[in-house]
A = this chain, B = another copy of it.
Amino acid sequence: MSNLDALEFGPDGLIPVVTQDARTGAVLMQAYADRAAIERTLSTREATYYSRSRGEPWVKGATSGHTQRVVSVHLDCDGDSVLYRVEQTGPACHTGEYSCFHTPLLEGDAPDTGLDGTLERVHATIAERLTTLPENSYVARLHAGGLDRVLKKISEEAGEVLLAAKNGDRAELATEAADLLFHTLFALAEVGVSPGDVAAVLREREGKSGLKGPKEVG
């Protein structure tokens, strides 16, 4: 039995598909697929769905160019839902928004995700805004100034970290470090480096020190 036989299609022959940006973690859309669409997705790595409104197969981006290269496909525990993790080109939503889930019903306070989770969220936001370039966005303004402007900010914020540390001002150091990290993430996003790429370097060093485990860096 192939894994495909574990798929539980509904009475209409469709199964819901959740699509997630593999780079940013954002949930981009939720659509449907029939068996042929799933098979095509698996064989081509082009995210393929079944359009309920048009009653036909739908290769994402075939007309808009906003394709999704499929990184992985997972089935849920009871076989009636599928997760595509994709590398999204351009916005996922036909409205031009990055994600289809852009209408808030309940607003969130940003969850306490620790430094790593927060930085990933910030990077995802920057990467998204570099795609959509919304007006009034700091990201869009900074981007418009060109790469040099972002890099000057890194230099400036590094200097402010130095001063705050020399002054032993903890609150100021936290603020300036946040600025430095933000603009470093910005430069990464501009050049197409993910936080995971940076983490991989740090993790490799943990390994290289010939030692293992979290306490072994440096």
Contact = CB atoms under 8 A, between A and B. Distances in A.
Contacts of A217: 121-122, 125-126
B215 A198 contact: no
Interface in A53-84: 70-79, 81-83
Interface range for A: 35 or more
A41 B108 CA distance: 13
A201 B25 CA distance: 22
A100 B77 CA distance: 5
A168 B188 CA distance: 10
A71 B110 contact: yes
Contact of A112 (B23, B115, B173, B192): B23
A139 interface: yes
Nearest to A112: B196
Contact of A22 (B22, B102, B111): B111
Contacts of A145: none
A98 B213 CA distance: 13
A165 B185 CA distance: 12
B103 A199 contact: no
Contacts of A118: 116, 199, 202-203
Nearest to A212: B107
A1 interface: no
A111 B115 CA distance: 17
Contacts of A76: 29-30, 100-103
Contacts of A113: 22-24, 196, 199-200
A10 to B, nearest CB: 10
